[in-house]
Amino acid sequence: MTKSLETYIKQRLQEKDILLMTHIVMGYPSFEASYEIVRQMVAAGVDLMELQIPFSEPMADGPVILKANQKALDAGATVETCLDFARKVTQEFNIPFLFMSYANILYKFGMHAFAAKMKHIGIKGAIVPDLPPEEAKDYLSAMAANTLDPIYIFSPETPDQRMARIHEVSSGFIYCLARKGVTGKTTDFSQDLATYLGRCRKATDLPLAVGFGVKEKADIDFLRKIADIAVVGSQTIREVEDKGVDATAPFIRGLLA
């Protein structure tokens, strides 16, 4: 898959009115289970996927994903095992995969070395929520040198001027938080959200992905026509915890029905 992430998204949007991006924590509940979750998600129709590298202090994540991070680390997940896992799924499944990580992991690995590794194994871009543009010179140059997409974030609290600055350094798509706070909490899908997404749309010509609190078909239906990508994260982990790995495909198919 050599086309750019933005091109892929816009082409998919000619076929369907909203795309679905899912999120897994690599190594949770095990790497074998993670692989099966990815396989079921792709088979059920997911359009793109975030692969989270487990981290001990995932500050943007709520209790569900935080717990998954810790369990993966306790089970022995490392950056290297995650890179190996990512290489396997990018080779086997024909959708774009992104890394979601925190800046400490990239700095420790070496920013340019990490970006080169991402390109080598077929990752399309990264979401690094604790690395603002003002502190991201090395990251942005490393991503550009490897034709990777740095995915940046808008929130309802982001002023218009700040949105314009974020747009300048972004490519691929913009990740729009449906509300302030951390992942996994309840989101009010209302006119306020629609108004905010209208403001996001004016700030960028990149596709808009909406996450934080998207957990059922009604949420995705609300986002049709006002967003380009719905992002489901914590709810998939809840489904796996409650019903087992084999609940993944039926859950995804229900979202897309």
Q: Which residues are catalytic?
A: 50, 61
CB-based contacts of 58, cutoff 8 Å, min separation 6: 52, 65, 66, 69, 102
What is the 8-class DSSP label of residue 130? T
Residue 119, burial from CB neighbour count under 10 angstroms (0-12, 13-18, 19+): middle
Q: Computed over its alpha carbons, how large is the radius of gyration of the chain?
A: 17
CB atoms within 10 A of CB 130: 14
Token pair of 48 as six digits: 């793109």
Other Cβ atoms closer than 10 A to 8: 20
- Rounded (5°) CA angle 129-133-138: 100
